[in-house]
């Protein structure tokens, strides 16, 4: 008897199609010309994916999400009954991600400790999330140097992709967490002053997202993030026109897909790049937009950084502070 987990898909004619989850995973895998081994590498055994495709077994939600992400599919269109433990794990992960975003390292480490007590120690996906979170939170708290953070992130992605190579990023399939790790590795290289290396990593990741994440781009939020970070790396490399262009693409992606976390950053990148292109009028406009957007969403540190930069570069003072 097939498992009773369904995947809901909105087709090109806007009609709702309902598939058995395993059937849809198999359909997408075969459409992309991928083997079971390619899709499940580092996530689960091939036999587990085979049983899922044939409706004889449903893995944990974490593994199902990872498989869908590797196939470039949204993970918010299927329904599964979760255990109390799975619900607690999902809630803690969201809280940890929020702590990273808000620079709340102490609270974040407390949540990580709670998570470690709940997860299976043999689960590479959970271990990867924990290690990635420790690297980010630890750097925020001053526990780790840039070099230590980089080693931890490379170790984290190696848990699911042992032969990962920064020179050929497009040679593997990735989950959202794996893409975030690659994005964060590029960020460390940029922090270390290796902006051209960072730009190359972001460029490869952008090409991957554009090729493999067409269906999931709305739900994952990866495209605005990678476009914004790539634009920042180009700006730091001195490629100002390209930085403006990619930041604009980031702005458009933020608005189109409803992911606004990178919006003010893309505007600030444009502002700085316009200044170095000797277009201070455009720079002032972008600084105003970035500053007041930060004010609206409560990003006080970013507001102060933009305020100082705008004053130093073009002598701009903001009327409402």
Q: How confident is the model at residue 218 (pLDDT cuts 50, 70, 90)?
A: low
Of residues 227 and 297, the one with the higher pLDDT is 227
Contact indicator for 283, 314 with CB cutoff of 8 Å: yes
* Torsion angle (degrees, nearest 10) of CA 135, 139, 140, 141: 100
> Is the four-CA dihedral 275, 281, 285, 287 of positive or negative sign?
positive
Is 279's pLDDT higher than 90? Answer: yes
User: Residue 10 forms beta bridges with which residues?
Assistant: 16
Q: Is the pLDDT of residue 247 over 90?
A: yes
Top pLDDT among 285 and 256 is at 285
Count of CB atoms within 10 A of residue 215's CB? 16
> Tokens standing for 8?
């809901």
Query: Which residue ranges make up each domain of the chain?
Result: 6-70, 83-212
End-to-end C-alpha distance for the chain, whole angstroms: 64
8-state DSSP, 78: B
- Collapse the DSSP code of 8 into the 3-class scheme (helix H, G, I; strand E, B; otherwise coil) and give the result: strand
pTM of the model: 0.87
Fold of 83-212: 1.25.40
Handedness of CA 127, 128, 133, 134 (dihedral sign): positive
pLDDT of 88 strictly over 70? yes
3-state helix, strand, coil in the chain (%, to 5): 70, 5, 30
Range with lowest mean pLDDT among 74-88, 170-184, 257-271: 74-88
Residue 220's pLDDT is what? Answer: 63
- Kindly tell me if the per-residue pLDDT of 77 is higher than 80: no
What band does 213 get if pLDDT is binned at 50, 70 and 90? confident
Given the candidates 3.30.460.80, 3.30.230.70, 1.10.600.10, 1.10.260.40, the CATH classification of the domain at 6-70 is 1.10.260.40
């Amino acid at each position: 008897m097939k498992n009773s987990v369904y995947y809901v898909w909105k087709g090109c004619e806007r009609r709702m199609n309902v598939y058995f989850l395993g059937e849809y995973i198999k359909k997408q895998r075969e459409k992309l010309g991928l083997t079971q081994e390619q899709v499940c590498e580092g996530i689960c055994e091939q036999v587990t994916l085979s049983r899922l495709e044939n409706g004889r077994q449903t893995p944990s939600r974490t593994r199902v999400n990872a498989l869908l992400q590797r196939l470039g599919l949204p993970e918010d269109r299927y329904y599964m009954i979760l255990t109390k433990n799975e619900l607690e794990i999902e809630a803690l992960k969201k809280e940890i991600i929020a702590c990273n975003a808000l620079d709340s390292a102490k609270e974040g480490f407390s949540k990580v400790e709670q998570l470690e007590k709940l997860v299976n120690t043999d689960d590479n996906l959970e271990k990867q999330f924990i290690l990635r979170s420790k690297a980010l939170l630890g750097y925020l708290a001053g526990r780790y140097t840039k070099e230590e953070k980089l080693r931890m992130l490379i170790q984290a992605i190696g848990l699911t992709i042992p032969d990962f190579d920064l020179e050929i990023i497009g040679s593997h399939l990735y989950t959202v967490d794996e893409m975030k790790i690659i994005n964060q590795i590029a960020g460390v290289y940029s922090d270390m002053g290796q902006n051209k290396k960072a730009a190359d990593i972001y460029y490869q990741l952008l090409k991957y997202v554009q090729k493999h994440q067409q269906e999931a781009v709305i739900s994952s939020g990866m495209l605005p993030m990678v476009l914004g970070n790539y634009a920042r790396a180009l700006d730091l490399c001195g490629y100002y026109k390209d930085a403006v262009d990619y930041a604009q693409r980031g702005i458009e992606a933020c608005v189109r897909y409803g992911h606004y976390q990178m919006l003010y950053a893309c505007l600030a990148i444009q502002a700085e790049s316009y200044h170095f292109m000797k277009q201070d009028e455009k720079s002032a406009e972008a600084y105003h937009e970035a500053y007041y957007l930060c004010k609206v969403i409560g990003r006080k540190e970013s507001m102060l950084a933009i305020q100082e930069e705008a004053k130093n570069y073009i002598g701009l003072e903001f009327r409402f502070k």
